[in-house]
Amino acid sequence: MQLASRFAHHSPSLRSSSPLTDDQIRAVAPSIFALDKHASRSDRYTYIPTGEVLTALRREGFEPFMVCQTRVRQDDRRDFTKHMVRLRHARHIGDAEANEIVLLNSHDGTSSYQLIAGLLRYACSNGLVFGDTFSDVRVHHKGQIVDRVIEGAYEVLDGFDLVRERRDAMRAITLDAQEQAIFARAALALKYEPDPVRPAPITETQVLEARRSADARSDLWSTFNRTQENLLQGGIPGRSATGRRMRTRAVQGIDQNLKLNRALWMLAEEMRRLKG
């Protein structure tokens, strides 16, 4: 998966427990409503604003609950840059673990339309993105974009039955302390790529710490969720390569978030296969 923009710290983003309005979305991610494609795009580039696709998805029962857009250094790209919208179908709004469709796009050529399976745990507001096992639909800026994006949304939605099956299988697998440590060690390698000269700033034990008692179980699903939340949300005290005290940073970039999310899911899937 090729994703090439950075969603930097303090960049605008918004998540809500109820559907977002266009005014709320426009305030934090105006590129969703760009009035035209960026001047760098050729005549072969089919311009369909994400706002128009969003309107069509709402008619099909999909509602936006989270939006963000990347920061850019060039002022002329700010209103066209990559953005992300997370949507839920009406019949899943009240789920404790809400299935979401992650929609990516831009109007400056840095991204095609992409729809990826996601899930939100209300307990920690942690937006999980599933790995390559599940639907990853891409629609290039050519032809009948709106219809193909809607078809892709339903394709992703249909894949959630398999997601639920894998989640339940992970809940049924118990990991001993050594297996949990192996999982945490692999997860640290995915984020920090540590080596003897530059070790990870935090330990396996810290990665596995539960932020709430309900997540303190030893099953694979709980181990995965603790690891994911701690690595993505940051805030864990540690030491830099020079020995300086610090706290780990949250993963703020669109690309970095998706990459780590999907890698952690694939790690959990491999552990499930080994233990299944």
Residues 205-224 pLDDT 10s: 999 999 888 889 999 999 99
Is residue 179 domain-shared with residue 155, that is, in the same domain? no
Is residue 151 domain-shared with residue 197, that is, in the same domain? no
**Number of domains making up the chain:** 2
Q: Is residue 155 part of a domain?
A: yes
Q: Is residue 47 part of a domain?
A: yes
Residue 261 or residue 123, greater confidence? 261
CA distance 185 to 77: 39
Across all residues in the chain, what is the average pLDDT? 82
CA distance 66 to 116: 14
Average pLDDT over residues 24-51: 78
Is residue 36 domain-shared with residue 146, that is, in the same domain? yes
Is residue 40 domain-shared with residue 144, that is, in the same domain? yes
Residue 4: its pLDDT value, please? 28
Average pLDDT over residues 47-66: 86
Is residue 30 domain-shared with residue 113, that is, in the same domain? yes
Residue 39: its pLDDT value, please? 64
Is residue 113 domain-shared with residue 185, that is, in the same domain? no
Segment 113-151, tens digit of pLDDT: 888 878 776 555 556 665 554 557 787 777 777 888 888
Q: Is residue 165 part of a domain?
A: no
Is residue 126 domain-shared with residue 179, that is, in the same domain? no
Would you give the distance in Å from CA 204 to the centre of its chain? 23
The candidate with the shortest Cα–Cα distance to 225, out of 175, 264, 275, 174, is 264
Q: Are strands 136-139 and 126-129 parallel, antiparallel or unpaired?
A: unpaired
Write out the residue range of the structural domain in which residue 244 sits.
172-275
Q: Is residue 45 part of a domain?
A: yes
Q: Residue 192: is its pLDDT beyond 90?
A: yes
CA distance 217 to 223: 7
Q: Is residue 259 part of a domain?
A: yes
Is residue 101 domain-shared with residue 215, that is, in the same domain? no
Q: Residue 204: is its pLDDT beyond 90?
A: yes
CA distance 78 to 134: 32
Residue 7: its pLDDT value, please? 40
Tokens of 232: 């993505």
Average pLDDT over residues 228-235: 91
- 276 band by pLDDT with thresholds 50, 70 and 90: confident
The structure's pTM equals: 0.74
Contact 167, 160 (CB under 8 A): no
CA distance 129 to 251: 13
Is residue 45 domain-shared with residue 114, that is, in the same domain? yes
Contact 170, 157 (CB under 8 A): no
